[in-house]
Amino acid sequence: MLRWRESRVDEPAAHELLTEYFAGRAAGFPATQGLYRTTFPVTEDFIEPRGVFLIALDESDSPLGCGGIRLLESVGVDGLRYEVKHLYLRPNARGRGLGRALLAELESRARAFGATELVLDTNASLAAAGGLYRSSGYSDIPPYNENPNATNWYRKVL
């Protein structure tokens, strides 16, 4: 059974997952875009109420993946924009719907924080990720940041 554990991004299990995520991204990054730029997350951005970082655990408490949300800015009068970051599953956990479950849990946490929309960026080389986001109700938007690794930006109204 899949469980979630809140974690600081600088705790050992989270750091291990993030290191795997960044190594995989760097290894598979399109050469036409130059070098992948690794930026570890700022711990304070993923601590309530600004955000949360989750580790997905299997029935034996082994980490399967991770992901987080962080507050970006206010939107309009009463809205809050959060960003999905570092959604990652280990290769042995892929293809079983766990990415969709993790994304849904992050969306639920964002709603609990009062978010009215979620945004995220990704790279076109991550076709499965793009498919997950589109099939989960995310729409293409113009760039909202200057992430040099990103080619696609998405938004979902909550």
CB of 135 within 8 A of CB of 103? no
Residue type, 136: S
- What pLDDT, on the 0 to 100 scale, is given for residue 17? 98
Gap between the Cα atoms of 13 and 108, Å rounded: 23
pLDDT < 50: residue spans in the chain:
none
| Helix, strand or coil, per DSSP, at residue 70 | strand
How much is the pTM?
A: 0.93
- What pLDDT, on the 0 to 100 scale, is given for residue 6? 98
CB of 39 within 8 A of CB of 121? no
Residue 143: is the preceding peptide bond cis (ω within 30°)? Answer: no
Strand partners, 69: 52, 84
